[in-house]
Copies of this chain bind each other. A is one copy, B any other.
Amino acid sequence: MQDKLKIYGREFSSRFLIGTALYPSPAIMSESIAVSGAEIVTLSLRRQNPAQHEGNLVWDLIRQSGCQLLPNTAGCKTAREAVNLAEMSREIFRTDWLKLEVIGDDYNLQPDPFGLVEAAAELVKRGFRVLPYCTDDLVLCQRLLDAGCEVLMPWGAPIGTGQGLLNKYSLETLRTRLPQVPLIIDAGIGAPSQAAEAMEMGFDAVLLNTAVAKAHDPVAMARAFRLAIDAGRSAYQAGLMVRQQTASPSTPTLDMPFWHQADPLTQE
């Protein structure tokens, strides 16, 4: 009955992790988080610096959400940069949870496999609870686990594209090969149907930001994603029907033709 997401010793009822950037206003951000049901929010010291004037309101609203904070290292391009930002974030946000990002290319903003493993190993040593934003490369994922990560966050598609799950084959491979590891699809999700599909495939949670923040109505979209993620999880547990190549009637009547039955009208 209890279907909890377990990460680094904590349990969560929600499988929807949400970002805090790009919203039309702090108030809409705050309401979107509330409606999403998220219990974990990502945020960036570079944007939500509580020590800076303009960051105060956003920071207060995020803190009031009561969510587990998940500071990220967005924009970092080397392991060293990421480690430095992680340390500052831990200090200021008072949590050792970290969404590790090491960006390897300006065009597709993809994770740098090499920098990521290097940074993850260092951060784990320093006591961080690292949730790496990674690609769907199985070998990279195994290296991150070896480095001490207990959770992985493979991308569906490049950040902000909304393209959904670009390579279902490799995502299925990840799920099959790493059955015990919490896997959170992070980045690329643009529509609730895509989030539902990720959950139907057996992924443990979904993290997104742009698709909510850039919707015409972010609050309504946050609700839509909450429902879709719940739907996908329920479907995964309920056991999806097997896709068939050929049609089969949902109303099988061939062996029981009506006109061979007694006439229902005269029998009444």
Which A residues lie at the B interface, using CB under 8 A? 19, 21-22, 44-47, 49-52, 72, 74-75, 85, 88, 91-92, 104-105, 107-114, 117, 135, 137-140, 142-143, 157-163, 166-167, 169-170, 173, 176-177, 187, 190-194, 196-197, 200, 209-211, 213-218, 220-221, 223-228, 230-232, 234-235, 237-254, 256-258, 261-262, 264-265, 267-268
Could you tell me if B241 and A190 are in contact, using CB atoms closer than 8 angstroms? yes
* B-chain residues with CB within 8 Å of residue A248 when the two chains form the complex: 109, 159-161, 210
Q: List 21 A-B contacts (CB under 8 A).
A: A19-B250, A21-B252, A52-B262, A52-B267, A107-B173, A108-B173, A113-B140, A114-B114, A157-B169, A158-B169, A161-B245, A161-B246, A162-B241, A166-B170, A191-B196, A191-B197, A193-B200, A193-B228, A209-B250, A215-B241, A220-B237
What B residues does A197 contact at CB under 8 A? Answer: 191, 193
| Contact call A159/B105, Cβ cutoff below 8 A | no
**Complex contacts, A187 vs chain B, CB 8 Å:** 250
The oligomer's copy count stands at 4
User: A245 to chain B: which residues have CB within 8 Å?
Assistant: 161
> Residues of B contacting A247 with CB < 8 Å?
107-110, 158-161
Structural contact, B224 and A227, CB atoms closer than 8 A: no
Contact: B200 with A250, CB < 8 Å? no
